[in-house]
Amino acid sequence: MVNGDNNRNSQKLKGKTIAIGAAAPLSGRARGLGCEMLQAIQIAVDEWNEAGGLSGAFVELHAEDDAGKVEKGEVVARTLCGRANVLGAVGHYNSDVTLAASLIYEANRMTMITPIVSNPGLTERGLTNIFRFTNRDDQTGLAIARFLRSEHSKTSAFIAATTTTYGRSMAAEYKAAFRSLGGTIVGEIWFEEGTDDFTSIVNQMPESDHVFYGGTFEGAPLLRSLRQAGNNKLFATGDGCWDMANFLEPAGSAATVGEGVIVLSATPELGLVDGSMTFAERY
């Protein structure tokens, strides 16, 4: 009976066009990250269409720029929900934007798949239309804390984080996890996104056996400042710093000084998942 229903649905869609929405920061500071996300979505759409479409229907992508701003993200969500042929949305990138936009998708009964947002609150509110594809901050924080306590015998941490939604969540979850495993938090400091001079911040840091950073764009300049000040302790951070262009390249040689860095990756290494090498080559 189920197969019969599927066949009938395929016949109804054959030759038609359906659409999915994609919402990401295609302008502003996070433009590079948003464009990478959009390119991956476009590959999936192209693969569907090359294979004959989705249940026989041609798939059309409606991409919208949320600029990494909450207000713009809400406008984008309403725009996508207002288009009759858009069946669902993939997005957004920023935690605060996604948390706000998800309520609009839910109110309009539109499915939202978010590939990178890790804030626990996204899936703690009981919304039935939200699906995530990455680890939550509490899981990430616990995984890093366990690794540093068991594999590196770390006992004291200093927390440095941005005041962004992601920075606050990642720092809070790591702090709670590290303490629960017997570690000590010797202090913490918060700064605005976009800060690039960390000289005074580094000079105020008390002694600890590692520094944990919660945030995205400030990880590289913070690490460079630490090394320039002679602080060669381990630098640990979550998936906000897992990419080359945003963290490893601007960090340069500072990433390998002293105890180096530990970054939790948002994805497995290429080759561990079947088809991932082929995807990377096509991307």
pTM over 0.75: yes
Q: In this structure, are 156 and 103 located in the same domain?
A: no
One domain for residues 143 and 252: yes
CATH code of the domain in which 182 resides = 3.40.50.2300
Q: Could you tell me if 39 and 68 lie in one domain?
A: yes
Q: Examine the domain organization and report whether 72 and 113 are in the same domain.
A: yes
Each residue's pLDDT tens digit, 132-141: 988 899 999 9
Kindly state the percentage of the chain with pLDDT values over 70.
95
What band does 13 get if pLDDT is binned at 50, 70 and 90? low
What's the domain count of the chain? 2
Q: Are residues 56 and 100 in the same domain?
A: yes
Please report which residue ranges of the chain form alpha helices under DSSP H.
2-13, 31-50, 70-81, 95-107, 137-150, 165-180, 199-204, 219-228, 249-251, 276-282
Q: What are phi and psi of 71, to 5 degrees?
A: -60, -45
3-state DSSP assignment of residue 185? strand
Distance of CA 217 to the CA centre of its chain: 12
Query: Half-sphere exposure (CA, 13 Å, Cβ side) for 234?
Result: 19
Q: Say yes or no: 7 and 130 in one domain.
A: yes
Residues 103-131 have pLDDT tens digits of 999 999 999 999 999 999 999 999 999 99
User: What tens digit of pLDDT does each residue of 48-67 get?
Assistant: 999 999 888 999 999 999 99
Q: Which residues contact 92 (CB under 8 A, 6 or more apart)?
A: 23, 24, 25, 66, 73, 76, 98, 101, 114, 117
Are both 43 and 101 inside the same structural domain? Answer: yes
Q: Max alpha carbon distance in the chain (Å)? A: 69
Containing domain of residue 94, as a range? 2-134+272-282
Same domain, 235 and 278: no
